[in-house]
Structure 1
Amino acid sequence: MTSVPDRIADDIEREILAQRLDSGARFALRTELIERFGVSASAMNEALRILRERGVVQVKPGAQGGVFIAQPPPQVRLGVLDLWFRGLQVDAVELFEARSALEDSLSGVAAERATPADARDLDWALEELRERRADPRLYLEATMRFHGVIARAARIPVLAGMYESVVTLLRGALVRAEFAVPDAQAALARNIEVHARLAKAIAAGDREALAAALADHRVDLVRLGQPDRSPGRDSR
Protein backbone atom coordinates (compact mmCIF):
# COMPACT_ATOMS: atom_id res chain seq x y z
CA MET A 1 0.00 0.00 0.00
CA THR A 2 1.35 3.42 -0.99
CA SER A 3 2.10 5.74 1.93
CA VAL A 4 0.77 9.29 2.25
CA PRO A 5 4.20 10.88 1.57
CA ASP A 6 4.62 8.69 -1.53
CA ARG A 7 1.22 9.77 -2.87
CA ILE A 8 2.00 13.43 -2.20
CA ALA A 9 5.37 13.10 -3.91
CA ASP A 10 3.74 11.50 -6.96
CA ASP A 11 1.08 14.24 -7.12
CA ILE A 12 3.66 17.02 -6.86
CA GLU A 13 5.91 15.41 -9.48
CA ARG A 14 3.01 15.06 -11.93
CA GLU A 15 2.10 18.71 -11.38
CA ILE A 16 5.68 19.85 -11.97
CA LEU A 17 5.96 17.80 -15.16
CA ALA A 18 2.59 19.06 -16.42
CA GLN A 19 3.56 22.71 -15.83
CA ARG A 20 6.94 22.20 -17.58
CA LEU A 21 8.61 24.56 -15.12
CA ASP A 22 12.18 25.69 -15.73
CA SER A 23 15.07 24.48 -13.62
CA GLY A 24 15.54 26.80 -10.64
CA ALA A 25 11.95 28.11 -10.69
CA ARG A 26 10.24 28.44 -7.35
CA PHE A 27 7.39 25.94 -7.10
CA ALA A 28 5.88 26.71 -3.68
CA LEU A 29 6.55 27.35 -0.03
CA ARG A 30 6.66 24.32 2.23
CA THR A 31 3.88 25.82 4.37
CA GLU A 32 1.71 26.31 1.27
CA LEU A 33 2.08 22.66 0.35
CA ILE A 34 1.22 21.53 3.89
CA GLU A 35 -1.96 23.61 3.76
CA ARG A 36 -2.89 22.56 0.24
CA PHE A 37 -2.52 18.82 0.89
CA GLY A 38 -3.90 19.00 4.43
CA VAL A 39 -1.11 16.90 5.94
CA SER A 40 1.30 17.18 8.83
CA ALA A 41 4.69 18.85 8.55
CA SER A 42 6.41 15.49 9.00
CA ALA A 43 4.43 13.92 6.12
CA MET A 44 5.30 16.83 3.83
CA ASN A 45 8.96 16.70 4.88
CA GLU A 46 9.05 13.01 3.92
CA ALA A 47 7.37 13.75 0.57
CA LEU A 48 9.93 16.45 -0.17
CA ARG A 49 12.75 14.07 0.79
CA ILE A 50 11.40 11.57 -1.76
CA LEU A 51 11.28 14.28 -4.42
CA ARG A 52 14.84 15.37 -3.62
CA GLU A 53 16.05 11.79 -4.01
CA ARG A 54 14.30 11.62 -7.40
CA GLY A 55 16.07 14.80 -8.45
CA VAL A 56 12.79 16.66 -8.93
CA VAL A 57 13.10 19.48 -6.37
CA GLN A 58 15.51 21.34 -4.16
CA VAL A 59 14.43 22.74 -0.79
CA LYS A 60 16.07 25.98 0.32
CA PRO A 61 15.71 27.51 3.81
CA GLY A 62 15.28 31.14 4.79
CA ALA A 63 13.13 34.09 3.76
CA GLN A 64 13.96 33.57 0.07
CA GLY A 65 13.67 29.82 0.36
CA GLY A 66 11.03 27.31 -0.57
CA VAL A 67 10.65 24.37 -2.91
CA PHE A 68 12.47 24.90 -6.21
CA ILE A 69 12.58 22.90 -9.43
CA ALA A 70 15.66 20.78 -9.90
CA GLN A 71 16.72 19.63 -13.33
CA PRO A 72 18.60 16.34 -13.44
CA PRO A 73 20.43 15.70 -16.72
CA PRO A 74 18.58 13.58 -19.28
CA GLN A 75 19.30 9.87 -19.00
CA VAL A 76 19.15 9.39 -22.75
CA ARG A 77 19.96 11.67 -25.68
CA LEU A 78 18.11 10.19 -28.67
CA GLY A 79 18.99 12.32 -31.67
CA VAL A 80 17.19 15.61 -30.91
CA LEU A 81 15.25 14.21 -27.94
CA ASP A 82 16.28 14.40 -24.30
CA LEU A 83 14.54 11.74 -22.21
CA TRP A 84 14.08 11.25 -18.47
CA PHE A 85 12.96 7.98 -16.85
CA ARG A 86 12.04 6.80 -13.36
CA GLY A 87 11.65 3.32 -11.90
CA LEU A 88 13.77 1.35 -14.37
CA GLN A 89 15.84 -1.50 -12.96
CA VAL A 90 18.34 -1.24 -15.83
CA ASP A 91 20.07 1.64 -17.58
CA ALA A 92 17.69 3.28 -20.06
CA VAL A 93 20.51 3.53 -22.61
CA GLU A 94 20.86 -0.27 -22.52
CA LEU A 95 17.13 -0.66 -23.21
CA PHE A 96 17.38 1.64 -26.21
CA GLU A 97 20.39 -0.30 -27.46
CA ALA A 98 18.39 -3.53 -27.15
CA ARG A 99 15.53 -1.85 -29.00
CA SER A 100 17.88 -0.73 -31.78
CA ALA A 101 19.42 -4.19 -32.14
CA LEU A 102 15.98 -5.77 -32.42
CA GLU A 103 14.88 -3.14 -34.93
CA ASP A 104 17.88 -3.88 -37.15
CA SER A 105 17.29 -7.64 -37.05
CA LEU A 106 13.54 -7.40 -37.60
CA SER A 107 13.90 -4.90 -40.45
CA GLY A 108 15.97 -7.34 -42.49
CA VAL A 109 13.41 -10.10 -42.11
CA ALA A 110 10.51 -7.70 -42.74
CA ALA A 111 12.07 -6.81 -46.10
CA GLU A 112 11.66 -10.47 -47.07
CA ARG A 113 8.18 -11.05 -45.62
CA ALA A 114 6.28 -7.76 -45.71
CA THR A 115 2.92 -7.86 -47.49
CA PRO A 116 1.12 -5.02 -49.28
CA ALA A 117 -0.95 -4.60 -46.10
CA ASP A 118 2.26 -4.17 -44.09
CA ALA A 119 3.43 -1.54 -46.58
CA ARG A 120 0.18 0.38 -46.09
CA ASP A 121 0.60 0.17 -42.31
CA LEU A 122 4.12 1.59 -42.64
CA ASP A 123 2.77 4.48 -44.73
CA TRP A 124 0.18 5.24 -42.04
CA ALA A 125 2.83 5.05 -39.31
CA LEU A 126 5.06 7.37 -41.33
CA GLU A 127 2.23 9.87 -41.67
CA GLU A 128 1.78 9.78 -37.90
CA LEU A 129 5.47 10.65 -37.49
CA ARG A 130 4.93 13.75 -39.61
CA GLU A 131 1.85 14.74 -37.62
CA ARG A 132 3.53 14.31 -34.22
CA ARG A 133 6.73 16.26 -34.88
CA ALA A 134 5.68 19.26 -32.75
CA ASP A 135 5.64 17.27 -29.48
CA PRO A 136 8.74 15.33 -28.36
CA ARG A 137 6.87 12.71 -26.37
CA LEU A 138 4.29 12.08 -29.07
CA TYR A 139 7.05 11.89 -31.67
CA LEU A 140 8.88 9.24 -29.63
CA GLU A 141 5.63 7.27 -29.31
CA ALA A 142 5.04 7.50 -33.06
CA THR A 143 8.59 6.32 -33.73
CA MET A 144 8.10 3.27 -31.54
CA ARG A 145 4.80 2.49 -33.27
CA PHE A 146 6.50 2.75 -36.68
CA HIS A 147 9.12 0.20 -35.66
CA GLY A 148 6.39 -1.91 -34.07
CA VAL A 149 4.81 -2.22 -37.52
CA ILE A 150 8.16 -3.46 -38.86
CA ALA A 151 8.42 -5.95 -35.99
CA ARG A 152 5.02 -7.40 -36.82
CA ALA A 153 5.81 -7.49 -40.55
CA ALA A 154 8.81 -9.75 -39.83
CA ARG A 155 6.41 -12.41 -38.54
CA ILE A 156 8.71 -13.74 -35.84
CA PRO A 157 6.39 -13.60 -32.81
CA VAL A 158 9.13 -14.25 -30.24
CA LEU A 159 11.30 -11.35 -31.43
CA ALA A 160 8.28 -9.10 -31.92
CA GLY A 161 7.24 -9.92 -28.34
CA MET A 162 10.72 -9.04 -27.08
CA TYR A 163 10.55 -5.72 -28.92
CA GLU A 164 7.14 -4.90 -27.42
CA SER A 165 8.41 -5.81 -23.94
CA VAL A 166 11.30 -3.34 -24.26
CA VAL A 167 8.99 -0.62 -25.59
CA THR A 168 6.49 -1.24 -22.79
CA LEU A 169 9.23 -0.78 -20.18
CA LEU A 170 10.33 2.49 -21.78
CA ARG A 171 6.78 3.82 -22.07
CA GLY A 172 5.96 3.00 -18.47
CA ALA A 173 9.08 4.65 -17.05
CA LEU A 174 9.25 7.78 -19.23
CA VAL A 175 8.48 10.87 -17.15
CA ARG A 176 9.71 13.65 -19.42
CA ALA A 177 10.69 14.26 -23.03
CA GLU A 178 12.10 17.51 -24.40
CA PHE A 179 13.72 18.66 -27.60
CA ALA A 180 17.47 18.88 -27.07
CA VAL A 181 17.85 22.02 -29.19
CA PRO A 182 15.65 25.12 -29.60
CA ASP A 183 14.93 24.41 -33.28
CA ALA A 184 14.68 20.66 -33.76
CA GLN A 185 12.53 20.68 -36.88
CA ALA A 186 15.36 20.38 -39.41
CA ALA A 187 16.74 17.34 -37.61
CA LEU A 188 13.25 15.85 -37.30
CA ALA A 189 12.67 16.32 -41.04
CA ARG A 190 15.88 14.39 -41.68
CA ASN A 191 14.80 11.68 -39.24
CA ILE A 192 11.41 11.35 -40.94
CA GLU A 193 13.16 11.08 -44.32
CA VAL A 194 15.29 8.21 -42.96
CA HIS A 195 12.16 6.43 -41.75
CA ALA A 196 10.54 6.98 -45.16
CA ARG A 197 13.54 5.28 -46.76
CA LEU A 198 13.20 2.38 -44.33
CA ALA A 199 9.53 1.97 -45.22
CA LYS A 200 10.22 2.14 -48.96
CA ALA A 201 13.08 -0.37 -48.79
CA ILE A 202 11.06 -2.85 -46.73
CA ALA A 203 8.03 -2.56 -49.01
CA ALA A 204 10.23 -3.12 -52.07
CA GLY A 205 12.30 -5.89 -50.51
CA ASP A 206 15.43 -3.88 -51.38
CA ARG A 207 18.15 -5.17 -49.04
CA GLU A 208 20.81 -2.74 -50.33
CA ALA A 209 18.61 0.31 -49.79
CA LEU A 210 17.57 -1.05 -46.40
CA ALA A 211 21.18 -1.45 -45.27
CA ALA A 212 21.93 2.16 -46.24
CA ALA A 213 18.82 3.46 -44.48
CA LEU A 214 19.59 1.48 -41.32
CA ALA A 215 23.14 2.86 -41.27
CA ASP A 216 21.79 6.42 -41.48
CA HIS A 217 19.19 5.58 -38.83
CA ARG A 218 21.92 4.52 -36.39
CA VAL A 219 23.94 7.67 -37.07
CA ASP A 220 20.83 9.81 -36.60
CA LEU A 221 20.38 8.48 -33.06
CA VAL A 222 23.66 10.05 -31.90
CA ARG A 223 23.99 13.00 -34.27
CA LEU A 224 23.74 15.60 -31.52
CA GLY A 225 25.87 16.02 -28.40
CA GLN A 226 26.19 13.79 -25.34
CA PRO A 227 27.11 10.66 -27.34
CA ASP A 228 27.96 8.79 -24.13
CA ARG A 229 24.24 8.78 -23.27
CA SER A 230 23.10 7.84 -26.78
CA PRO A 231 22.23 4.32 -27.90
CA GLY A 232 24.41 3.00 -30.70
CA ARG A 233 27.13 5.53 -29.88
CA ASP A 234 29.94 3.15 -30.88
CA SER A 235 28.65 2.89 -34.43
CA ARG A 236 29.54 6.43 -35.41
Structure 2
Amino acid sequence: MSKDSETKSRATSSRAEDVAAELEMEILRAGLPAGSRLGLRTDLISRFEVSPGVMNEALRLLRDRELINVKPGPSGGVFTADQPPGVRLGALDLWFQGLTIPPLEIFESRTLLEEMFNNLALQKSTPDDHDEIERGLQMLTASANDPRRFFEANVEFHRAIARSTGVTVLIGIYDSLVTVLLGALVRAAWASGYEETVDHNVRVHGQILEAIRNKDRKRLEIATRLHRVDMISLAQPEKSPVTRIGSRSAAKDDSAAG
Protein backbone atom coordinates (compact mmCIF):
# COMPACT_ATOMS: atom_id res chain seq x y z
CA MET A 1 0.00 0.00 0.00
CA SER A 2 1.38 3.45 -0.97
CA LYS A 3 1.89 6.16 1.66
CA ASP A 4 -1.00 8.22 0.20
CA SER A 5 -3.36 5.22 0.31
CA GLU A 6 -2.33 4.47 3.88
CA THR A 7 -2.97 8.07 4.95
CA LYS A 8 -6.37 8.06 3.21
CA SER A 9 -7.29 4.75 4.88
CA ARG A 10 -6.43 6.12 8.34
CA ALA A 11 -8.46 9.28 7.69
CA THR A 12 -11.47 7.22 6.57
CA SER A 13 -11.22 5.00 9.63
CA SER A 14 -10.93 7.99 11.99
CA ARG A 15 -13.92 9.79 10.46
CA ALA A 16 -15.96 6.56 10.55
CA GLU A 17 -15.18 6.15 14.25
CA ASP A 18 -16.32 9.74 14.89
CA VAL A 19 -19.61 9.15 13.05
CA ALA A 20 -20.14 5.83 14.84
CA ALA A 21 -19.47 7.44 18.24
CA GLU A 22 -21.95 10.25 17.54
CA LEU A 23 -24.67 7.85 16.42
CA GLU A 24 -23.96 5.52 19.34
CA MET A 25 -24.36 8.35 21.84
CA GLU A 26 -27.55 9.51 20.12
CA ILE A 27 -29.06 6.01 20.28
CA LEU A 28 -28.12 5.45 23.92
CA ARG A 29 -29.02 8.91 25.21
CA ALA A 30 -32.39 8.98 23.47
CA GLY A 31 -33.30 5.57 24.86
CA LEU A 32 -34.69 4.55 21.48
CA PRO A 33 -36.52 1.20 21.56
CA ALA A 34 -35.34 -1.66 19.36
CA GLY A 35 -36.56 -1.30 15.78
CA SER A 36 -36.54 2.52 15.72
CA ARG A 37 -35.64 3.72 12.23
CA LEU A 38 -32.63 6.03 12.01
CA GLY A 39 -33.10 6.57 8.28
CA LEU A 40 -31.72 5.31 4.99
CA ARG A 41 -27.97 4.95 4.55
CA THR A 42 -28.17 7.81 2.01
CA ASP A 43 -29.94 9.99 4.61
CA LEU A 44 -27.10 9.43 7.07
CA ILE A 45 -24.48 10.11 4.38
CA SER A 46 -26.13 13.48 3.69
CA ARG A 47 -26.58 14.28 7.36
CA PHE A 48 -22.96 13.64 8.32
CA GLU A 49 -21.55 14.87 4.98
CA VAL A 50 -19.32 11.84 4.53
CA SER A 51 -18.53 9.46 1.68
CA PRO A 52 -20.36 6.14 1.24
CA GLY A 53 -17.17 4.34 2.28
CA VAL A 54 -16.96 6.26 5.57
CA MET A 55 -20.63 5.59 6.34
CA ASN A 56 -20.29 1.88 5.51
CA GLU A 57 -17.41 1.62 7.98
CA ALA A 58 -19.35 3.56 10.67
CA LEU A 59 -22.34 1.26 10.25
CA ARG A 60 -20.07 -1.80 10.44
CA LEU A 61 -18.69 -0.53 13.77
CA LEU A 62 -22.22 -0.04 15.12
CA ARG A 63 -23.28 -3.51 13.95
CA ASP A 64 -20.22 -4.99 15.69
CA ARG A 65 -21.35 -3.22 18.90
CA GLU A 66 -24.83 -4.74 18.40
CA LEU A 67 -26.49 -1.32 18.37
CA ILE A 68 -28.04 -1.33 14.87
CA ASN A 69 -29.47 -3.56 12.17
CA VAL A 70 -29.26 -2.63 8.48
CA LYS A 71 -32.16 -3.90 6.34
CA PRO A 72 -32.19 -3.79 2.51
CA GLY A 73 -35.13 -2.98 0.26
CA PRO A 74 -37.65 -0.14 -0.13
CA SER A 75 -38.82 -0.36 3.49
CA GLY A 76 -35.31 -0.96 4.74
CA GLY A 77 -32.73 1.33 6.27
CA VAL A 78 -30.82 1.58 9.52
CA PHE A 79 -32.69 0.47 12.64
CA THR A 80 -31.77 0.34 16.32
CA ALA A 81 -31.13 -3.05 17.92
CA ASP A 82 -31.72 -3.91 21.57
CA GLN A 83 -29.83 -1.41 23.69
CA PRO A 84 -27.50 -2.35 26.50
CA PRO A 85 -29.21 -1.47 29.79
CA GLY A 86 -28.10 1.81 31.32
CA VAL A 87 -27.83 3.55 34.66
CA ARG A 88 -27.60 7.28 35.37
CA LEU A 89 -25.67 8.41 38.43
CA GLY A 90 -26.07 12.16 38.62
CA ALA A 91 -24.19 13.46 35.57
CA LEU A 92 -22.63 10.06 34.79
CA ASP A 93 -24.23 7.75 32.20
CA LEU A 94 -23.20 4.08 32.25
CA TRP A 95 -24.15 1.25 29.89
CA PHE A 96 -23.63 -2.47 30.44
CA GLN A 97 -23.77 -5.68 28.41
CA GLY A 98 -23.91 -9.34 29.36
CA LEU A 99 -25.56 -8.94 32.78
CA THR A 100 -28.14 -11.53 33.80
CA ILE A 101 -29.54 -9.13 36.44
CA PRO A 102 -30.65 -5.56 35.54
CA PRO A 103 -27.82 -3.16 36.47
CA LEU A 104 -30.17 -0.95 38.48
CA GLU A 105 -30.80 -3.87 40.85
CA ILE A 106 -27.05 -4.44 41.25
CA PHE A 107 -26.54 -0.73 41.95
CA GLU A 108 -29.30 -0.79 44.57
CA SER A 109 -27.51 -3.58 46.43
CA ARG A 110 -24.20 -1.77 46.05
CA THR A 111 -25.65 1.47 47.45
CA LEU A 112 -27.19 -0.26 50.47
CA LEU A 113 -23.92 -2.08 51.22
CA GLU A 114 -21.91 1.14 50.90
CA GLU A 115 -24.11 2.98 53.39
CA MET A 116 -23.82 0.09 55.82
CA PHE A 117 -20.02 0.05 55.40
CA ASN A 118 -19.87 3.81 56.04
CA ASN A 119 -21.51 3.33 59.43
CA LEU A 120 -19.30 0.36 60.33
CA ALA A 121 -16.16 2.23 59.25
CA LEU A 122 -17.11 5.01 61.66
CA GLN A 123 -16.59 2.51 64.49
CA LYS A 124 -13.86 0.20 63.17
CA SER A 125 -11.54 2.07 60.80
CA THR A 126 -7.95 2.97 61.72
CA PRO A 127 -5.66 5.84 60.61
CA ASP A 128 -4.08 3.45 58.07
CA ASP A 129 -7.55 2.77 56.67
CA HIS A 130 -8.17 6.50 56.43
CA ASP A 131 -4.99 6.90 54.38
CA GLU A 132 -6.23 4.20 52.00
CA ILE A 133 -9.64 5.90 51.65
CA GLU A 134 -7.80 9.20 51.07
CA ARG A 135 -5.94 7.61 48.15
CA GLY A 136 -9.29 6.64 46.65
CA LEU A 137 -10.46 10.25 47.03
CA GLN A 138 -7.32 11.48 45.26
CA MET A 139 -8.02 9.07 42.39
CA LEU A 140 -11.55 10.45 42.19
CA THR A 141 -10.29 14.04 42.03
CA ALA A 142 -7.72 13.19 39.35
CA SER A 143 -10.32 11.42 37.17
CA ALA A 144 -12.87 14.23 36.91
CA ASN A 145 -12.48 14.56 33.12
CA ASP A 146 -12.67 10.86 32.29
CA PRO A 147 -16.09 9.28 33.02
CA ARG A 148 -14.93 5.66 33.01
CA ARG A 149 -11.93 6.36 35.27
CA PHE A 150 -14.18 8.44 37.53
CA PHE A 151 -16.53 5.49 38.01
CA GLU A 152 -13.58 3.15 38.64
CA ALA A 153 -12.13 5.61 41.19
CA ASN A 154 -15.54 5.87 42.85
CA VAL A 155 -15.55 2.08 43.22
CA GLU A 156 -12.05 2.13 44.75
CA PHE A 157 -13.02 4.84 47.24
CA HIS A 158 -15.99 2.85 48.53
CA ARG A 159 -14.05 -0.41 48.34
CA ALA A 160 -11.43 1.08 50.70
CA ILE A 161 -14.21 1.99 53.16
CA ALA A 162 -15.60 -1.56 52.90
CA ARG A 163 -12.19 -3.10 53.58
CA SER A 164 -11.73 -0.91 56.66
CA THR A 165 -14.67 -2.65 58.36
CA GLY A 166 -13.07 -6.11 58.41
CA VAL A 167 -16.43 -7.83 57.73
CA THR A 168 -15.01 -10.33 55.26
CA VAL A 169 -18.23 -11.99 54.08
CA LEU A 170 -19.92 -8.71 53.21
CA ILE A 171 -16.72 -7.33 51.69
CA GLY A 172 -16.64 -10.43 49.46
CA ILE A 173 -20.22 -9.81 48.33
CA TYR A 174 -19.42 -6.16 47.62
CA ASP A 175 -16.28 -7.07 45.65
CA SER A 176 -18.31 -9.54 43.58
CA LEU A 177 -20.92 -6.88 42.75
CA VAL A 178 -18.43 -4.23 41.64
CA THR A 179 -16.31 -6.76 39.73
CA VAL A 180 -19.39 -7.78 37.74
CA LEU A 181 -20.25 -4.13 37.03
CA LEU A 182 -16.74 -3.19 35.92
CA GLY A 183 -16.50 -6.26 33.70
CA ALA A 184 -19.85 -5.56 31.99
CA LEU A 185 -19.35 -1.80 31.52
CA VAL A 186 -19.26 -1.03 27.79
CA ARG A 187 -19.52 2.75 27.82
CA ALA A 188 -19.36 5.67 30.24
CA ALA A 189 -20.13 9.29 29.39
CA TRP A 190 -20.84 12.62 31.05
CA ALA A 191 -24.15 14.40 30.62
CA SER A 192 -23.93 18.02 29.48
CA GLY A 193 -22.93 20.52 32.15
CA TYR A 194 -21.38 17.80 34.29
CA GLU A 195 -18.49 19.82 35.75
CA GLU A 196 -20.38 21.43 38.64
CA THR A 197 -22.06 18.15 39.58
CA VAL A 198 -18.74 16.30 39.57
CA ASP A 199 -17.03 18.95 41.72
CA HIS A 200 -19.84 18.70 44.26
CA ASN A 201 -19.70 14.90 44.18
CA VAL A 202 -15.96 14.91 44.96
CA ARG A 203 -16.56 17.29 47.89
CA VAL A 204 -19.30 15.00 49.28
CA HIS A 205 -16.95 12.01 49.13
CA GLY A 206 -14.43 14.13 51.03
CA GLN A 207 -17.11 14.82 53.66
CA ILE A 208 -17.78 11.09 54.02
CA LEU A 209 -14.07 10.50 54.63
CA GLU A 210 -13.80 13.32 57.20
CA ALA A 211 -16.88 12.10 59.06
CA ILE A 212 -15.41 8.58 59.26
CA ARG A 213 -11.99 9.91 60.24
CA ASN A 214 -13.48 12.03 63.04
CA LYS A 215 -16.08 9.42 64.06
CA ASP A 216 -18.74 12.08 63.58
CA ARG A 217 -22.03 10.24 63.12
CA LYS A 218 -24.15 13.34 62.55
CA ARG A 219 -21.81 14.59 59.84
CA LEU A 220 -21.83 11.15 58.22
CA GLU A 221 -25.64 11.13 58.12
CA ILE A 222 -25.59 14.50 56.34
CA ALA A 223 -22.90 13.40 53.89
CA THR A 224 -24.79 10.15 53.16
CA ARG A 225 -27.96 12.12 52.34
CA LEU A 226 -25.98 14.43 50.06
CA HIS A 227 -24.39 11.41 48.39
CA ARG A 228 -27.83 9.95 47.63
CA VAL A 229 -29.00 13.25 46.15
CA ASP A 230 -25.83 13.45 44.02
CA MET A 231 -26.60 10.04 42.52
CA ILE A 232 -30.01 11.09 41.20
CA SER A 233 -30.15 12.13 37.56
CA LEU A 234 -32.32 15.22 37.08
CA ALA A 235 -32.94 14.26 33.45
CA GLN A 236 -33.95 10.62 34.08
CA PRO A 237 -34.41 9.97 37.81
CA GLU A 238 -36.08 6.63 37.09
CA LYS A 239 -32.69 5.35 35.84
CA SER A 240 -30.99 6.24 39.14
CA PRO A 241 -30.89 3.42 41.71
CA VAL A 242 -31.44 5.59 44.79
CA THR A 243 -34.82 6.80 43.54
CA ARG A 244 -35.97 3.17 43.37
CA ILE A 245 -34.64 2.51 46.88
CA GLY A 246 -36.38 5.64 48.14
CA SER A 247 -39.70 4.72 46.52
CA ARG A 248 -39.59 1.25 48.07
CA SER A 249 -38.83 2.71 51.50
CA ALA A 250 -41.74 5.14 51.17
CA ALA A 251 -44.09 2.30 50.15
CA LYS A 252 -42.94 0.31 53.17
CA ASP A 253 -43.58 3.27 55.50
CA ASP A 254 -47.04 3.79 54.00
CA SER A 255 -47.80 0.11 54.48
CA ALA A 256 -46.69 0.23 58.12
CA ALA A 257 -48.74 3.37 58.73
CA GLY A 258 -51.84 1.73 57.26
Task: Tell me which residue corresponds to 2:235.
Answer: 225
Matching of residues 48-59 of structure 1 within 5 Å: 54=66, 56-59=67-70
Structure 2 residue 110 is matched with structure 1 residue 83:
no
CA–CA distance in 1 between the matches of 2:21 and 2:175?
A: 29
Structure 2 residue 175 is matched with structure 1 residue 164:
yes
CA–CA distance in 2 between the matches of 1:62 and 1:92?
A: 37
Structure 1 contact 107–150 (Cα < 8 Å) conserved: yes
Task: Tell me which residue corresponds to 2:12.
Answer: none
Task: Tell me which residue corresponds to 2:72.
Answer: 61
Task: Tell me which residue corresponds to 2:252.
Answer: none
User: Offset of 1:85 from its aligned partner?
Assistant: 0.6
1:159 alignment partner, SS class: helix
Task: Tell me which residue corresponds to 2:56.
Answer: 29
Greater fraction of residues in helix: 2
CA–CA distance in 2 between the matches of 1:198 and 1:166?
A: 21
For each residue in 1:139-195, what CA deviation from the matched residue of structure 2 results, as whole angstroms up to 9, or x when unmatched?
A: 000000000000001110111111100001101111011112x22110000100110
CA–CA distance in 2 between the matches of 1:70 and 1:141?
A: 28
2:214 partner amino acid: A
Task: Tell me which residue corresponds to 1:107.
Answer: 118
Is the radius of gyration larger for structure 1 or structure 2?
2
CA–CA distance in 1 between the matches of 2:84 and 2:69?
A: 15
Structure 2 residue 137 is matched with structure 1 residue 126:
yes
User: Offset of 1:60 from its aligned partner?
Assistant: 4.4
User: Offset of 1:83 from its aligned partner?
Assistant: 1.1
Task: Tell me which residue corresponds to 1:201.
Answer: 211
Question: Higher relative contact order at CA 8 Å, sep ≥6: structure 1 or structure 2?
Answer: 1
CA–CA distance in 1 between the matches of 2:199 and 2:56?
A: 43
How many residues align structurally? 202
Q: Percent identity?
A: 38
1:222 alignment partner, SS class: coil
Task: Tell me which residue corresponds to 1:20.
Answer: 21
1:20 partner amino acid: A
* Structure 2 alignment gaps of length 5 or more: 1-15, 27-37, 39-43, 46-53, 248-258
* Structure 1 alignment gaps of length 5 or more: 1-14, 34-46
2:241 alignment partner, SS class: coil
Task: Tell me which residue corresponds to 2:153.
Answer: 142
CA–CA distance in 2 between the matches of 1:176 and 1:223?
A: 17
Task: Tell me which residue corresponds to 2:253.
Answer: none
Task: Tell me which residue corresponds to 2:222.
Answer: 212
1:20 alignment partner, SS class: helix
CA–CA distance in 1 between the matches of 2:17 and 2:97?
A: 15
Structure 1 contact 129–142 (Cα < 8 Å) conserved: yes
1:149 partner amino acid: A
